[in-house]
């Protein structure tokens, strides 16, 4: 079995007793399996065991084979000198630490039913490996884990926000602007939208928010949509001329036009139209960080983001893609996703950076008040019988799938742990 499974067996004391060395006849009483160590060094710290009449405290290291100790170089690493117990599935050698002292090595054995349960989860090809067993999980366990998942997801996104904050010398406005643009690209165009935000600082764009045409020229020009081809429309030619002047003025370098994806996209989601809508958001000052801090509820943002583009886009999706005349606004679904993917992470990160628990809770309450997004992951959970009531549920389940189900980290999941302890699998 893999080391992750052996960690699970040790951590939850699922190994057979007595724990002993057949060769030396040394028998160990485990007082505490210790604390899992996610960092470099021994796998478990603060382990306590009793041998004969002596209590030992230190660390434990786990390998599939005892010889892995030497293969990993622990015999020369002083960080492993405090290991009091080396636990393995197969003891194929004795091992020593860097002081030349022999480290007690013992084989772990367990009920093979646990192996069968684990393999049943691991080898299940469904998106959600435990789908057929979820009804056996205590709802309290599931709810508790979902609460953990939403915080974990926001913490993960907070790290991304803090990374941007370091890049921008602590400029929260620039960070918020970048998150908004990246989120506007959804999954398919997130990268070029992010690259666009880096190539066109908010400080430059804001100088021209009083002139919608110039704002559009900067956004569409920096995206590369005004350079490679010529279109006869007066609107396009005016944008092109405006951009040529502004590009030279600010020494701008546009994003590679080939990065943008249009294939298999609904025309209403074309990046050209999205950028025209974002220009209107800029003009209406709905992208300002102060607005984010002062908002009371997510509906405010959804209403603000539900914006239209300029008149040209009433009859176009692209410069060469005509449409029936109608006002093209950023849809409610897209506006909601902007709140989920930009507003909430930045608000949560702002609260965390300033030690404001109320703001962090406010960010979570925004998610709880919004409808859930619909995608392949949420549909898979619904198919498995899980109700997705709001955006917080959806984000929790996306986190669970991406970080646990997809990676087959069943043993790191509270749900997988509970199922392993029960006889419902196999």
Percent of the chain with pLDDT over 70: 99
3-state secondary structure of 110: strand
Which of 55-64, 71-80, 301-310, 394-403 has the lowest average pLDDT? 301-310
Angle between helices 112-122 and 414-421 (to 10 degrees): 140
**Structural domain spans, the chain:** 3-110, 188-343+358-367
Cα separation, 32 vs 25, whole angstroms: 21
Where residue 425 falls among pLDDT bands split at 50, 70, 90? low
- Of the two residues 341 and 286, the one the predictor is more confident about is 341
Percent of the chain with pLDDT over 90: 81
Q: CA triplet 185, 191, 196: central angle to 5 degrees?
A: 80
Which of 85-94, 136-145, 396-405, 414-423 has the lowest average pLDDT? 414-423
- For 18, phi then psi, to 5°, come to -80, 155
* Best CA proximity match to 272, nearest among 176, 339, 184: 184
Where residue 424 falls among pLDDT bands split at 50, 70, 90? low
Cα separation, 88 vs 94, whole angstroms: 11
> Where are any strands of DSSP class E within 299-350?
316-318, 321-322
Q: CA triplet 370, 195, 312: central angle to 5 degrees?
A: 70
What pLDDT sits at residue 409?
96
**Helix H segments across 45-87?**
68-71
What pLDDT sits at residue 398?
98
Are residues 225 and 319 in contact, defined by beta-carbon separation less than 8 angstroms?
A: yes
Are residues 380 and 128 in contact, defined by beta-carbon separation less than 8 angstroms?
A: yes
Structure tokens at 14: 């699922």
pLDDT higher than 60, residue 73? yes
Which of 139-148, 169-178, 231-240, 416-425 has the lowest average pLDDT? 416-425
- The mean pLDDT value for 328-342 works out to 92
Are residues 395 and 340 in contact, defined by beta-carbon separation less than 8 angstroms?
A: yes
* Best CA proximity match to 102, nearest among 88, 79, 81: 81
Cα separation, 258 vs 171, whole angstroms: 30
- Of the two residues 87 and 233, the one the predictor is more confident about is 87
What pLDDT sits at residue 287?
87
Cα separation, 256 vs 277, whole angstroms: 21
What pLDDT sits at residue 408?
95
Which of 85-94, 260-269, 349-358 has the lowest average pLDDT? 260-269
- The mean pLDDT value for 200-226 works out to 96
* Best CA proximity match to 30, nearest among 3, 63, 60: 60
Cα separation, 84 vs 86, whole angstroms: 7
Instruction: Count CA atoms closer than 13 A to 171's CA, side-chain side.
Output: 13
3-state secondary structure of 100: coil
- For 354, phi then psi, to 5°, come to -100, 10
- The mean pLDDT value for 314-325 works out to 87
What pLDDT sits at residue 319?
86
- The mean pLDDT value for 25-54 works out to 94
Are residues 252 and 200 in contact, defined by beta-carbon separation less than 8 angstroms?
A: yes
DSSP state letter for 368: H
CA-based R_g, the chain, Å: 28
pLDDT higher than 80, residue 12? yes
Q: Which residues pair with 203 in a beta bridge?
A: none
- The mean pLDDT value for 42-49 works out to 97
Structure tokens at 39: 């960092």
- For 248, phi then psi, to 5°, come to -70, -40
Instruction: Count CA atoms closer than 13 A to 72's CA, side-chain side.
Output: 20
DSSP state letter for 200: S
Where residue 80 falls among pLDDT bands split at 50, 70, 90? very high
Instruction: Count CA atoms closer than 13 A to 90's CA, side-chain side.
Output: 7
What pLDDT sits at residue 182?
95
- Of the two residues 321 and 374, the one the predictor is more confident about is 374
What pLDDT sits at residue 364?
96
- The mean pLDDT value for 58-79 works out to 97
* Best CA proximity match to 60, nearest among 29, 90, 93, 104: 104
Are residues 171 and 190 in contact, defined by beta-carbon separation less than 8 angstroms?
A: no
- The mean pLDDT value for 211-218 works out to 97
Mean pLDDT, the chain, rounded, equals 93
Give the long-range contacts of residues 236-245, CB within 8 A, separation 24 or more. 236/319, 238/213, 239/213, 242/213, 242/214, 242/217, 243/217, 243/218
- The mean pLDDT value for 276-280 works out to 95
């Amino acid at each position: 079995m893999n080391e992750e499974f052996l960690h699970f067996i040790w951590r939850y004391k699922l190994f057979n007793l007595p724990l002993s060395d057949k060769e030396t006849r040394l028998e160990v009483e485990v007082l505490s399996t210790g604390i899992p160590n996610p960092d470099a060094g021994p796998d478990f710290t603060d382990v306590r065991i009793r041998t004969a009449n002596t209590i030992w405290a230190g660390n434990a290291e786990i390998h599939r084979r005892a010889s892995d100790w030497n293969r990993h170089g622990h015999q020369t690493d002083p960080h492993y000198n405090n290991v009091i117990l080396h636990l393995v599935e197969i003891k194929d050698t004795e091992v020593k630490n860097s002081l030349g002292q022999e480290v007690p090595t013992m084989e772990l054995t367990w009920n093979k039913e646990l192996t069968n349960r684990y393999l049943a989860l691991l080898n299940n090809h469904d998106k959600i490996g435990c789908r057929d067993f979820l009804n056996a999980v205590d709802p309290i366990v599931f709810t508790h884990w979902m609460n953990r998942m939403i915080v974990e997801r926001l913490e993960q996104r907070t790290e991304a926000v803090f990374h941007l904050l370091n890049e921008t010398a602590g400029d929260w406005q620039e960070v918020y602007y970048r998150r908004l643009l990246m989120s506007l690209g959804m999954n398919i165009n997130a990268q070029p939208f992010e690259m666009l935000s880096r190539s066109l600082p908010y400080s430059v764009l804001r100088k021209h928010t009083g002139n919608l045409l110039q704002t559009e020229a900067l956004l569409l020009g920096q995206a590369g949509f005004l350079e490679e081809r010529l279109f006869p429309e007066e609107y396009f030619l005016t944008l092109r001329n405006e951009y040529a002047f502004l590009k030279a003025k600010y020494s701008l370098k546009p994003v590679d036009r080939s990065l943008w994806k249009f294939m298999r996209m609904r025309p209403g989601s074309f990046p050209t139209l999205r950028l025209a809508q974002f220009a209107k958001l800029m003009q209406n000052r709905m992208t300002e960080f102060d607005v984010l801090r002062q908002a009371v509820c997510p509906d405010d943002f959804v209403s603000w983001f539900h914006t239209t583009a300029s008149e040209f886009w009433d009859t176009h999706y692209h410069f060469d893609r005509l449409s029936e005349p109608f006002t093209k606004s950023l849809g409610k679904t897209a506006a909601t996703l902007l709140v989920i993917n930009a507003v909430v992470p930045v608000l949560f990160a702002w609260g965390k950076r300033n030690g404001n628990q109320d703001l962090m809770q406010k960010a979570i309450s925004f998610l709880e008040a919004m409808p859930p997004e619909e995608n392949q992951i949420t549909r898979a959970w619904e198919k498995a019988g899980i109700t997705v009531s709001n955006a917080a549920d959806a984000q929790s389940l996306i986190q669970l799938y991406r970080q646990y189900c997809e990676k087959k980290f069943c043993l790191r999941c509270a749900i997988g742990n509970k199922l392993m302890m029960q006889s419902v699998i196999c």
